[in-house]
């Protein structure tokens, strides 16, 4: 029985004479077909990964971050207590008082942008959430109180979110999107 790929018919991996080409162009198969770039695969899955990490990161802000005596405080209670007790001052106090309560809202806006296929906007908003959570988690981690698991979870998830948004941004824009 004669194998069609070696019989000179130009089967998979062979040229018309039945020989294997010595070299292939980058991103090309032996049949001359173009291989889809990995970057497009990353772009296709990135909104889902960002969305899941974003939801987990925002959820981590509602779990206990500090424990003082018998009281466990989530990140919002920590921010409120820190500003009321004048534990922090300056820019950190202003950020804790004015910006931190809007982290869930910013996360929702990011998810909405991702769902509406506004990947760049959703990625940028998710990166902003990641930066805020990481900065707040590092600040809380330096506090002279008993750290609860939420601060560590916020830090890890925030860093993972930042890494994912950086990879998504570095792969460049996706194919041109048609506006209706």
- Residue range 29-79, pLDDT digits in tens: 555 545 444 555 555 677 889 999 999 999 999 999 888 788 888 988 888
| pLDDT at res. 170 | 80
Question: Roughly what angle, to the nearest 10 degrees, separates helices 149-170 and 38-60?
Answer: 160
Give residue for tokens 């004048």: 86
| pLDDT at res. 104 | 96
Supply φ then ψ for residue 146, to 5 degrees. Answer: -75, 115
* pLDDT at 16 > cutoff 70: no
Does the predicted TM-score (pTM) go above 0.95?
no
Give residue for tokens 């009321």: 84
| pLDDT at res. 78 | 85
Burial of 157 (0-12, 13-18, 19+ CB in 10 A): buried
Find out whether 42 and 168 touch, Cβ atoms under 8 Å. Answer: yes
Q: Provide the β-strand partners of residue 34.
A: 28
Beta strands across the sheet bearing 71-74: 71-74, 64-68, 146-147
Higher pLDDT, 48 or 19: 48
Q: What average pLDDT does range 124-144 have in this prediction?
A: 89
| pLDDT at res. 176 | 45
């Amino acid at each position: 029985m004669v194998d069609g790929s070696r019989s000179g018919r130009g089967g998979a991996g062979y040229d018309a004479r039945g020989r294997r080409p010595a070299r292939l162009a980058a991103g090309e198969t032996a049949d001359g077909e173009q291989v889809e770039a990995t970057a497009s695969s990353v772009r296709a899955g990135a909104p889902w990964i960002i969305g899941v990490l974003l939801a987990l990161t925002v959820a981590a802000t509602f779990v206990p971050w500090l424990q003082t005596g018998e009281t466990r405080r989530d990140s919002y209670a920590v921010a409120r207590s820190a500003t009321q007790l004048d534990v922090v001052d300056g820019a950190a106090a202003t950020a804790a008082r004015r910006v931190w309560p809007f982290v869930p809202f910013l996360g929702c806006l990011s998810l909405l942008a991702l769902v509406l296929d506004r990947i760049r906007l959703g990625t940028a908003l998710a990166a902003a959430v990641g930066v805020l959570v990481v900065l707040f988690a590092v600040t809380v981690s330096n506090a002279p109180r008993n750290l609860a698991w939420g601060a560590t979870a916020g830090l890890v998830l925030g860093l993972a979110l930042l890494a994912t948004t950086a990879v998504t941004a570095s792969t460049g824009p996706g194919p041109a999107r048609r506006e209706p």
